[in-house]
Amino acid sequence: MKSTIKLNCFSVTIIALLLFVGAEAYSQYGYGYGGYGGAYGYGRQRSAIPQAQEAPEEVKPKTAEELVDGEMPSIKEALQLNDFETAILSSILKKYVQERIEAQILKLPPEKMREVYDKITLRQDEELKASLPMEKYEAFVELQKNGVEKTIKKNKKQKKKQKKKN
């Protein structure tokens, strides 16, 4: 009888040990790679965000032409330029924006950079003054000070006042 009790205690101990080990293995590995995985906390955890296989492409800086061409429609509207004046302004701006980009590439000290920018601005102003009618040049200078959106709003207000007078 003692051997049966020992056998029963030994069997119970082994069965309990197997149950604990089995439960531990089940809780760690669950149903594998998917099964009930993500929803119930079993199995391999996966992120809902897909992993990028390739590094994202570097954003290339815009060229002078792209910068000027992007701004020209709003400048044309704000200054009420005709096609000829738009072409002149566009070509001059592209030239001097390109010079500014080249100056940035050199990475000069701040004092020297300011000096270079001032020289570029002076040459740009002289060329614009010689190429555009005086009222359009003055409107462009005001546009640079105030910004495109304020100038467009101001032009709309002036048109409304003129319509009220008529």
The tens digit of pLDDT for each residue in 10-37 reads: 787 888 766 676 766 666 655 555 445 4
Q: How many CA atoms lie within 13 A of 140 on its CB side?
A: 24
Statement: residue 82 has pLDDT above 60: yes
Residue 96 near residue 120 (C-beta atoms within 8 A): yes
The tens digit of pLDDT for each residue in 96-107 reads: 999 988 888 888
pLDDT-derived band of residue 91, with 50, 70 and 90 as boundaries?
A: very high
pLDDT-derived band of residue 126, with 50, 70 and 90 as boundaries?
A: very high
Give the global pTM. 0.57
The answer for 50, left when phi > 0, alpha when psi is -120 to 50, beta otherwise, is: beta
Cα separation, 161 vs 13, in Å, equals 98
**Domain spans in the chain, listed from the N-terminal domain onward:** 2-40, 64-165
Burial state string for 102-125 with b = 16 or more CB within 10 A and e = fewer than 16: ebeeeeeeeeeeeebeeebeeebb
Q: Which residue has the higher pLDDT, 36 or 94?
A: 94
